[in-house]
Structure 1
Amino acid sequence: MVRTAALGLALSFLALTGCGKQAAERNVDTLDNELIDGNAIGNARDPAMMGALQDQIMVDPSLAAQANNDAVRPPVQPVTGAVPPDGIAAGSSGAISSATTSEKLKSTPAPKADCPQCTAARESLTLGALAARQKGGNTAACAGNMRYSTRWSQRLPGDLPLYPDARVVEAAGNDANGCSIRAVSFSSAAPLQKVLDWYYTRATNAGFSAEHQANGAEHVLGGTRGRDDGAFALFLTSRSDGGTDVDMVANNGS
């Protein structure tokens, strides 16, 4: 008797399921008819609506086989944010322009044993702080209001420009209230001695004094010029790849 009752319940459930499915199909058909009838004009159905529903979809065979060439596609490899090597624009040898390599450079004098400027460079966390510790004229006062932008690297004094293959990292400057101070951090693929000699040659040819200090791998070249109260200081360290990192501060000058 129990099995008979269970069988009856199962048959009743299947019957209800079938009825529900048929009812759902009828409801869909009814909905379609209501949508069509809702657009009827008088007793006639809207011919535009009937045509849209019953006509075949038009397909252009010549376009169906073409891919969408303007579609956005994923890159063939992940995008990387790696910084290119310093010598990428100078060739694998790290050589710079022929005008620079062919020019006769003066040899920088041997450094003094004492290097107080090396300590200043290590203790300065920003270009502004490094500039504030430089002596001469209004350098320290003007350093307090320096503004940061790499554009300042293009406004260095003409006598002491960027090294030819310099890759600028950061720059700052101040031209307000009679100030004319610039500071820039850059790297070069050239070895430290070549960069040092290049700036020593330019500084002395332009009438600057030039004093060389060093403490281990840290080198400082700095000097002043009386005619325009100009002053400069370069802080150089060798890189592990054979190049040179440089921080430069220049005040006044032309």
Structure 2
Amino acid sequence: MMAKPLRLLIPLTCLWLAGCDARSDDDAQLNALDNELTAMTDGGRPAQDPQLAEALAAQIMVDPGLTQSSNANAVRPPNRPDSDQVPVLPPPGDPVDARTLTAAPPAARDCPECRAATKAFTLAALAGQQAGNARCLASLRYSAAWANRLPDAFAVYPGGRVNEAAGNDADGCALRIVSFQAGGPVTKVVDYYHSRAKAAGYDAEHKRDGAQHVLGGTRGAAAYLLYAKARGGGGTDVDLIVKGG
């Protein structure tokens, strides 16, 4: 009963083995062709395919006129990183003749105003160190125009460069706060404002703590307070507070 099925299996097995041999022959032929095409001579050049040999051996041509337009619309980093630094300007000029000035009195070494100034990060905070300014500071307005509205005795140092200014004329405050750079050295700037304050009828008191100088005085209800500090690179940083006058 089993003889007939076995006779059928033998031819099928032969056909399957023949198919395997055919696939093996095809694979061998493809491998041989690949080896022939990719074979290299001793000089490192392709041995068979002339087009491949020419493509690999030919010199690469570059059009110099197009090199700058490649990826013209691509987002590229800048040539150098942005420093985000404000350009350093030279100190302003100093047209004041020192021979016209009256020297300020020697500086007292006890200077609470100097220590308070180191804690003030805004003009309003600096003016707030003085008693009686709180009401006027509540309505303080910032504008460089306030630098031009200082009393004549305390006008910005000649040639000075204004950094920031604020003021308030409401309710009789007559408050001015101006920050600027002066071209003269710190001692000369102090002498300049001392001379002008004395000429306008104000008294003057000079204090110092390290590099920080403070000059202040009153004339009746009017008052002024000047903070001056030597600036790196030359000149003087000045914060000037004037009330009334």
Q: Taking structure 1 as the reference length, what is the TM-score of the superposition? A: 0.60
State the Cα distance separating 1:214 from its structure 2 match: 0.5
Matched position secondary structure for 1:162? coil
Q: In structure 2, what residue type is equivalent to 1:221? A: L
State the Cα distance separating 1:119 from its structure 2 match: 1.5
Residue-by-residue CA offset, 1:83-128 (whole Å, 9 max, x unaligned)? 46243x63xxxxx23xx31651001111111101011211111111
Question: Size of the alignment, in residue pairs?
Answer: 168
- Specify every segment of 5 or more residues in structure 2 that has no aligned partner in the other structure, as ranges: 1-79
The CA RMSD over aligned residues, in Å, is 2.3
CA contact (8 A) 1:132 1:141 kept: no
State the Cα distance separating 1:189 from its structure 2 match: 2.3
**Aligned residue among 230, 235, 238 for 1:243:** 235
**Aligned residue among 79, 85, 88 for 2:89:** 85
Residue equivalent to 2:206: 212
Residue equivalent to 1:231: 223
1:238 & 1:112 partners in 2: Cα distance? 18
CA contact (8 A) 2:110 2:207 kept: yes
State the Cα distance separating 1:178 from its structure 2 match: 1.5
1:140 & 1:233 partners in 2: Cα distance? 16
Residue equivalent to 1:105: 101
Residue-by-residue CA offset, 1:156-185 (whole Å, 9 max, x unaligned)? 111111000211111110011221000011
**Aligned residue among 119, 124, 129 for 2:120:** 124
- Specify every segment of 5 or more residues in structure 1 that has no aligned partner in the other structure, as ranges: 1-77, 91-95
CA contact (8 A) 1:86 1:189 kept: no
2:157 & 2:193 partners in 1: Cα distance? 8
**Aligned residue among 94, 111, 118 for 1:115:** 111
Residue-by-residue CA offset, 1:135-168 (whole Å, 9 max, x unaligned)? 3xx4332122211111111111111110002111
1:188 & 1:201 partners in 2: Cα distance? 16
Following TM superposition, the consecutive aligned residue runs of length 4 or more in structure 1 with deviations greater than 3 angstroms are: 80-84
Q: In structure 1, what residue type is equivalent to 2:228? A: L
Which structure has the larger Rg?
2
2:205 & 2:135 partners in 1: Cα distance? 23
